[in-house]
Each structure stands twice: as structure tokens, then as C-alpha cells.
A = this chain, B = another copy of it.
Amino acid sequence: MNKGHLIIISGPSGVGKGTVIKRLMQRHERLRFSVSATTRQMRPGEVDGVNYYFVTKERFEQMIANDELLEHACYVQNYYGTPEAPLDAMLEQGYDVLVEVEVQGALQIRKRRPEALLIFIAAPSFAELERRLRGRGDTAEDKMQKRLQTARWEYDMAAQYDYIVINDTVDAVTDEILAILTAESCRASNRMQFLKEANEHALSPDVGAAETH
């Protein structure tokens, strides 16, 4: 069985990552979502191992020290990170594994795992991104300006991703991501086993006949 793809998805706040990922999970049977570890408090309705692995600060710092994380970061005095072992277990079983992570985390992962596919979800235009953010109607103007500033920086960094998909409609962008996964499976570097087997057969045309002696 071929190993799955490690897929890293980022995009600015408001671009609709959550909706796209939900649709992807519905349309791609062998896709699994990587569960992050965090030191923040569990909230009502959250389940350990589903929403996050909820761990203590001591355990998290031990994971850092043991090099158990693909990437990690600190927000509002809490740690967040991507444990490597469960993700590798899924890849080995042939599942594609999706990690949703901020730009800095994505670039950390790229260094550690050069085979990772970095996909950036952009809005059709910056004006549309601003419209979507304002449409939520729940954010003060200073926070809004901060988000837009972060988004500008993220767009700058997007040039370092492998792929940029544009979230015009959820179905169109999901089609694009699924096409990327199909194309990556067709890369010659992922077909070496196929070529090896084809050539072994081709170079020993008499093996089958010899076995009947």
C-alpha cells in the first residue's frame, strides 16, 4: 500500500477553512484530520482526543523536549502543537492526513517534512476577504484592522506554499484540493514501485514458464 499524503492547510481568518475542510472530509473517504495537542482548558462539549489532546503544561514541554511535535506555537499563554506519532501511524496505513495550521507552523513542518503538501486557501480577492470578515459582525474595528494586517502578511508568505487554491465556492475549491491529491499520487516519484514491478516482470519473461517445470 502507498503511504498517504501529509497535507498542510492554512489560510487567513475568515476565508472559510473550516467549511472547506468539512466538505473535504465528506468527499474523501481516506482523509483523516490531525488532532492538535494543547494546554488550554477543555471547554463544555469538547472531547479529549477529538477536538484536541488536552495535556498539562509539563507534558507539553516534555513533548517539545522529546521532539514529539511536528510544530508548536504559543497563543494567549497556551501551547498548541501537532503530535507526530499519531499522524505517522495514519500515513503508514495509507490515509491522507490533513493538518490545519497557521503559516508559521506550516513553514516549520515543511522544514521537518519536505514531502508535506502545503496548500494555502485564499479568498477570491482581498476586498472579498474583508467583506467576509466584516460580515461576521462580531469584531471591533481595531481587531478587524489587526486581522487584515495579519492576512496581508499571510498572503506574502503564501508564495512559499506548494499550492494556492481560491475559495470562490466551497465545491470548486474542494475540487481543486482533490485534484491536487490525485495529481500528487501520479507523480513519477510516487510510481517507482509500480515501475519496478513492471520492469521485473518485463525482464524475466520466462519466470512463469520455468515455475511449471
Q: Give bound CA distance, A150 to B209, whole Å.
A: 22
Cross-chain contact A126 with B159 (CB below 8 angstroms): no
Contacting residues of chain A (137-166) with chain B, CB-CB under 8 angstroms: 148, 151-152, 155-156, 158-166
| Cβ-based interface call for A201 (8 A) | yes
Contact string against B for A residues 48-80, beta-carbon threshold 8 Å, 1 for contact and 0 otherwise: 000000000000000000000000000000000
Q: Which stretch, A88-96, A107-115, A181-189, touches the partner chain B?
A: A181-189
Q: Contacts A152-B203, A159-B192, A192-B159 known; A186 to B165 CB distance under 8 Å?
A: yes
Would you call the interface of chain A mostly helix, strand, loop, or mixed? helix
Q: Which stretch, A1-9, A16-24, A35-43, A172-180, touches the partner chain B?
A: A172-180
| Cβ-based interface call for A131 (8 A) | no
Query: Could you list 21 examples of A-B contacts with CB < 8 Å?
Result: A120-B188, A122-B198, A152-B202, A155-B195, A155-B198, A156-B199, A162-B188, A163-B183, A163-B186, A163-B187, A163-B188, A164-B187, A164-B194, A164-B195, A165-B186, A166-B194, A176-B183, A179-B180, A182-B183, A183-B183, A183-B184
* Tier of interface size on chain A: 35 or more
Residues of B within 8 A of A203 (CB): 152
Q: Apart from A152-B199, A159-B188, A164-B191, what 5 extra A-B contacts exist at CB < 8 Å?
A: A122-B198, A125-B198, A151-B202, A162-B188, A182-B183
Q: Contacts A159-B188, A201-B126 known; A176 to B182 CB distance under 8 Å?
A: yes
Residues of B within 8 A of A210 (CB): none
Interchain nearest-CB distance for A107 vs B (Å): 13
Contact of A186 among B159, B164, B182, B191 (CB under 8 A): B164
For A148, the closest partner residue in chain B by CB is B202
